[in-house]
Structures are given as structure tokens and as C-alpha cells.
Amino acid sequence: MASSQLHLSLIQSNIVWEDKTTNLNHYASLLSALQGPRHVVALPEMFSTGFSMAPETLAETMDGPAIAWMRHMARTHRCILTGSLMIEENGHYYNRMLWVQPDGQIAHYDKRHLFAYAGEDQHYTAGQSRTIVQVNGWRIALMVCYDLRFPVWARNVGGEYDVLLYVANWPQQRNVAWKTLLQARAIENQCYVAGVNRVGADAKGNNYSGDSSVFGPMGDQIWQCTGTEAVHTATLDKEHLQQVRTSLPFLKDADRFLLL
């Protein structure tokens, strides 16, 4: 039976450069501090390493220790855990967003738009399809960082999802784009949009202000946090979403096209 509410927790954290053990231990402590109900807990992009272009030495397989850690955390905290990792598969490297359920089942989305400005396209293989997962009757489209700049990829054709969820390592110097585009995606797709980003600095000299955010289907800001680590649970309301789409049926007038 579908639930009228979705409890979505965002963990905005610092990430120690390419130090998997320290990062996973830190996330374990943050997860232990979570209070109240939660259906989904979201970690940033490449949460175990930072946005590194060294998958040749750092990537893991789907049976690697970071995936095992995600399974353990999801089971321990009785939640779905999501975030992206470097994954090696069939001789290719992917910036892969994992969706790990408490029962150990995993879905994934491979980042479609690789950030050529930082050389990501030279090390990773782009994904070829979108992934929409479900929990308690909610449909959630998984996206990673740079995907945010490409509205066609996120287009809510026929209202096929209820939530857009972005995980990111989005630098502070472009945070106006981050905040503006998250809000725009909510307005144009009549959906909830959540984006979880990191804070701190990486070894490449990039600073991160976080600005993790949740927006409602009218573009209203539900939550945003800048400049510090934070753990926040937002409660999304299905009845409100349906009321917005019914009273303002803009999606019915959208241009028709197929996403392959």
C-alpha cells in the first residue's frame, strides 16, 4: 500500500580525499546519530573518496567492501541507503549511484553526463539509461551531479516519477547554478527535488559549500544548508504533490519525446 509520506534523509558531509576507511567510519557515526523515521538516506557523490579521477587504483567491484558496508548500514538502520561510488565492471569504470535496500537488494544508476571539464570522461564510462526506483509507492529518479545541467535527461514525461534525487560534489564557485537548477527542475517537472552535496575542500583546491536542498513541486524551498556538515530528514507529502499536479496540470501540455 502506498504511503502518503516519504521520509528522506540527506547527509551533507566533509569527505577526506581518497581515504575510504576514514570516510566510511565517519558516515557510520553520522548514520548512528539519525533520529526519527527514515525511508531513504542519501550520501553525496563518490562519498568514500571524493571526486577523484583515479578509478584505476580506487574503484571497487559490486562485491567490494564499500558495497558490503552499504548493505550492512542499510540493514542495521532499516533504511534504503544511496550515494555514488567508483565501480569497475567488465573492464569499465562507472560513477555509479547505488540504491541499497535493507534486504540487500541493489539497484543502480550510472552517471550519464560525465564532467569533461575535470576529465571525468577520460576515466569513466557514461551510463546509457535512467533509473527510477520505488519505495512505499513513491517513484524516485536517480541522478548524479552534472546531470543537473541537462533538463531533457530529467524530464518528467507523463509524470513517471515523484522525486528527483541528485547526489553531488558541486563546487562552491558554481553554487548559484546548483541551487537555481535544483529549484528549476522541481518547477518544470512538478515534483519534489532533493540534492545532497558535500562540504569542505578536496586535494584539487576545490571548496564545497554544500547547499544541500529540498524543493517542493511548486519550487518552494523546504530545506537548505550551507557551509557545515548536516544531517536532515525532510518529510515529503504525496497528497500535496497530487493536489499540485491536479490543480495545475502543466505536465499534460509538455512536448512529447522519448528518452532512450
Q: 143 — phi, psi (to 5°)?
A: -140, 155
Residues forming the active site: 45, 111, 145
**Neighbouring residues of 76: CB distance < 8 A, sequence distance ≥ 6:** 31
Nearest to 165 by CA among 69, 65, 42: 42
Bridge-based pairing of strands 207-215 and 199-201 is antiparallel
- Rg of the chain over Cα atoms, rounded to whole angstroms, equals 17
Q: What angle do CA 46, 51, 52 make, to 5 degrees?
A: 110
Residue 74, SS3? helix
